[in-house]
Amino acid sequence: MLKIYIFIIFIAVSSLYSNDEISKQIWGNLILGSMLKDDLRIELDFEPKMQVSTEEKWANIDMTPLIEYYPNKWIDLTAEIVIGYTKQTNDINSIEFSPRLGVRFNIFGNIRQYLPTYEYLQLKRFNLSTLFRYEYRSLFFNNNSSEHQSRLRARVETKTAFNHDDISYDDTYYLFADAEGYFNFGKEVEEVFSNKARLRLGPGYRYNHEHSFEVLIIYDLAKNTIEDDARNDAYAINFRYKIFY
């Protein structure tokens, strides 16, 4: 299993050096989390990004504090704020403040208790949920301009365990996949707030309750306005390390 994961990572990294025009990036996440109570969790996400495909410099670092509240088994409520700095071009920099509110519906994790279990299909291997978030993005540029936009984000995400019957076990290898749509409200703001679709896919490893690691391939398809044609926007490989206290 480990050899397969290493091969997938090798293919993903090699793709960063292909010759097509799409922006190629490397992302990282260090995510620190802790349970304050049985129904309340906090998290702090440090996320650097860097473009590696062109001479034009683009780099970003975000810090995102998050709080999640679990009123019942079916629903998670989330609140977070992105605080970020981006080198947009060789001459333009920006600072971002973007609060988000969201709700996650844990679909399969709860209905599977009512479904029959077969020896060849252990339903605890699978985790399926949907996440809807509203965000208000504010970017302030070093040329004294600013951009503001409301946006809805809708995501479907899943995890599938390989080597255990339950994805919550320690020493578990799994596959992570999700698809998310970004939909702007109000006036059309080109480039910075594109309507887009994002796909993420990659292997993960849960060492224990406190530590897990993922390597994701990320592909963005975007368009500046509703009327524009979709374009290949970005390809990234994302290394994610999670520490849960």
Q: Tell me the pLDDT tens digit for each residue of 80-96.
A: 999 999 998 878 899 99
Confidence at residue 8, expressed as pLDDT on a 0 to 100 scale: 60
- For residues 129 and 42, which has the higher predicted lDDT (pLDDT)? 42
111 pLDDT above the threshold of 70:
no
Q: Check residue 19 and give its pLDDT.
A: 53
| Average pLDDT rounded to a whole number, residues 10-18 | 59
Q: What is the mean pLDDT of residues 168-182?
A: 93
C-alpha 57/C-alpha 32 separation (Å) is 29
Q: Is the pLDDT of residue 16 over 80?
A: no
Of 136-145, 217-226, 233-242, the least confident: 217-226
pLDDT at 193: 56
Q: Is the pLDDT of residue 77 over 90?
A: yes
Which domains are assigned to the chain? 2-244 (2.40.160.40)
At 135, which amino acid appears?
Answer: E
Say what the pTM is. Answer: 0.85
